[in-house]
């Protein structure tokens, strides 16, 4: 067996330098290799969400729009068919989830009616709050076809019209908050474009 | 120690979860379903095998005083590789494991095997050790995930077993506590006890 390298200052310095340099090169290589698949996977997810919440479209124009009083800009996706706007999908968020941040995409018809809502990201409790996911429960279907102008986006307990998920009121409240934020942004954006 | 016992010790005799009680944070955190347990176990196993391999290769080049930082850099590199690959090719698993993938870096099973085994043994036996320990970890997590999924949501690998009665809305009435954190501790305690019993029986023979 070869003798072990001694712990002199220069040895330690060299070893750590070589190890970190090799690791850095290896990671840079893997990052380059996986960059494309990661972007593809993200895009596929976004397209799947867009198809879920919007009517048939041929072009999507995406842009991030900042609003005062909102912690981060919301992603707006304007869906066009033959040049007419057929729907707007808003990527919205809330910080009030049971485990913090939740993100969702809300599709609005041009008159403000909700076409559908789909979650993008959440860390809610498995078996309880994760019922916001379409594949876990039909709970989020209750927003379909509702116009937030007349449909109050609050859970029944708080005097609104949203049926909360059993044993996950906080999650339901947060999800309603996210959708409400999308609607406020949708209205504000519409108001801007008319001026 | 023969290669066979070296390999099999990870399953029952020295199971990282049931006997050594190492790496409990990801164990309790992600074992809400059998699929998550299996995914987390395999990701950890890959990191374990690769870090054992590399560390046993370079063990003589590393001065003793800086061995821990060196091991951590090696482990962290492999974890980042796993994270990037999962994000690109298995986004569904990446999403459900979430924060727990970067946490493999500080999983004491990985550093524990690097320090206790790979830094003292040959490359070949280190790979065997990593494979055995990694599969033992996977086995433990999948088992724990299955128990929690069966009791907590009446499913196994997402398939409905249909033994729970349905309530008025058609949702199954389940023992939800098993999907939550307390259920993880309860299920783990029973599995540890079961494993201890098996180990005792085996040593008597």
Q: Does A7 touch chain B (CB under 8 A)?
A: yes
Distance CA B149, CA B36 (A): 10
Residue A14 in any domain: the answer is: no
Contact A182, A72 (CB under 8 A): no
Task: Tell me the pLDDT tens digit for each residue of B103-146.
Answer: 888 888 888 888 888 888 888 889 998 999 999 999 999 999 99
pLDDT beneath 70, residues of chain A: 1-3, 192-195
Query: What's A110's DSSP letter?
Result: T
Residue A192 has what pLDDT? 63
State whether B63 and A19 contact (CB < 8 Å).
no
Average pLDDT over residues B70-78: 92
Strands B159-160 and A100-108: unpaired
Burial readout B86-110 (b: 16 or more C-beta within 10 A, e: otherwise):
bbbeebebbebbeebbebbbebebb
- Hey, what are A1's tokens? 């067996």
Select the more confidently predicted residue: A121 or B186.
Answer: B186
pLDDT of residue B59: 85
Model confidence over B158-174: pLDDT tens digits? 777 777 777 666 666 77
Q: Which tokens go with A56?
A: 């048939």
Round the average pLDDT of chain B to a whole number and report it.
84
Max CA separation in chain A (angstroms):
81
Q: Is residue A16 part of a domain?
A: no
User: Tell me, what's the pLDDT at B75?
Assistant: 92
DSSP A5: P
Neighboring chain B residues of A123 at a CB cutoff of 8 Å: 98
* CA–CA gap between residue B164 and residue B166 (Å, rounded): 6
Q: What is the span of the domain harbouring residue B14?
A: 3-204
Question: In angstroms, rounded to a whole number, what is the distance separating the alpha carbons of residues A118 and B116?
Answer: 48
| Shortest distance, CA B11 to any CA of chain A (angstroms) | 28
Task: Out of B65, B171, B179, name the one closest to residue A7 (CB).
Answer: B65
Give the model's confidence band at B78: pLDDT under 50 very low, under 70 low, under 90 confident, else very high.
very high
**pLDDT of B74 higher than 80:** yes
- What pLDDT band is residue B79 in, cutting at 50, 70 and 90? very high
Specify the pLDDT at position A23. Answer: 92
Nearest residue of A to residue B75, measured between CA atoms: A23
Query: Do A38 and B63 count as a contact with CB atoms less than 8 A apart?
Result: no
CB contact under 8 A, B64 and A4: yes
Please tell me if residue B73 touches chain A, with a CB cutoff of 8 Å.
Answer: yes
Torsion of the alpha carbons at B20, B25, B30 and B36, rounded to the nearest 10:
-40
Using DSSP bridges, classify how beta strands A59-65 and B159-160 pair: parallel, antiparallel or unpaired: unpaired
Tell me the nearest-neighbour CA distance from B182 into chain A, angstroms.
Answer: 13
When divided into structural domains, chain A yields a total of 1
B131 — contact with chain A (CB < 8 Å)? no
**Residue A44: predicted pLDDT:** 87
- Nearest-neighbour CA in chain A from B87: distance (Å): 6
Range of the domain at A165: 54-194
The predicted pLDDT at position A76 comes to 87
pLDDT band at B1 (very low <50, low <70, confident <90, very high): low
- Is A125 within the bounds of a domain? yes
Establish if A20 belongs to a structural domain.
Answer: no
- The vertex-A7 CA angle with A4 and A13, nearest 5°, equals 110
Number of domains in chain B: 1
pLDDT above 70: residue B205: no
- A47 touches B: beta carbon within 8 Å: no
Full-model pTM: 0.77
| Chain B interface includes A14 (CB < 8 A) | no
Distance of CA B102 to the CA centre of its chain: 14
ipTM score for this prediction: 0.72
B91: closest chain A residue by CA: A41
Instruction: Please give the average per-residue pLDDT across B58-81, as a whole number.
Output: 89
Contact with chain A for residue B64, Cβ under 8 A: yes
User: Confidence band (pLDDT; 50, 70, 90) for B203?
Assistant: confident
């Amino acid at each position: 067996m070869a003798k072990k390298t001694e712990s002199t200052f220069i040895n330690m310095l060299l070893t750590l330098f070589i190890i970190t340099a090799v690791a850095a090169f290896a990671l840079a290589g893997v990052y380059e290799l996986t960059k494309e698949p990661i972007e593809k996977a993200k895009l596929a997810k976004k397209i799947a969400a867009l198809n879920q919440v919007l009517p048939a479209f041929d072009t999507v124009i995406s842009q991030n729009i900042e609003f005062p009083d909102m912690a981060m800009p919301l992603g707006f996706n304007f869906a066009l068919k033959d040049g007419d706007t057929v729907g707007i999908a808003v990527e919205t968020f809330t910080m009030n989830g049971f485990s913090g941040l939740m993100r969702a995409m809300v599709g609005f018809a041009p008159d403000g009616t909700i076409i559908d809502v789909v979650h993008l990201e959440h860390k809610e409790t498995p078996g309880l709050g994760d019922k916001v996911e379409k594949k876990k429960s039909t709970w989020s279907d209750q927003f379909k076809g509702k116009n937030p102008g007349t449909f109050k986006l609050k859970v029944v307990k708080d005097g609104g019209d949203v049926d909360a998920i059993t044993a996950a009121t906080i999650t339901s409240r947060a999800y309603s908050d996210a959708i409400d934020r999308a609607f406020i942004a949708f209205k504000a954006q519409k108001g801007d474009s008319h001026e | 120690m023969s290669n066979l016992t070296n390999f099999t010790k990870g399953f029952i005799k020295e199971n990282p979860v049931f006997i050594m009680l190492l790496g409990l944070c990801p164990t309790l955190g992600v074992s809400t379903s059998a699929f998550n347990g299996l995914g987390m176990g395999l990701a950890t196993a890959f990191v374990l095998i690769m870090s054992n391999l590399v560390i046993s290769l370079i063990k003589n080049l590393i001065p003793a005083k800086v061995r821990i930082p060196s091991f951590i850099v090696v482990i962290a590199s492999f974890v980042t590789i796993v994270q990037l690959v999962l994000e690109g090719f298995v986004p569904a698993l990446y999403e459900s494991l979430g924060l727990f993938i970067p946490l493999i870096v500080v999983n004491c099973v990985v550093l524990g095997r690097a320090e206790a085994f790979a830094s003292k043994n040959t490359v070949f036996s280190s790979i065997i050790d990593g494979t055995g320990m990694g599969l033992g970890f996977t086995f433990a997590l999948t088992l724990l995930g299955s128990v929690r999924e069966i009791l907590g949501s009446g499913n196994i690998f997402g398939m409905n077993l249909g033994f729970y009665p349905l309530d008025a809305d058609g949702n199954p009435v389940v023992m939800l506590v098993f999907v939550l954190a307390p259920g993880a501790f309860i299920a783990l305690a029973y599995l540890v006890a079961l494993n201890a019993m098996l180990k005792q029986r085996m040593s008597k023979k």
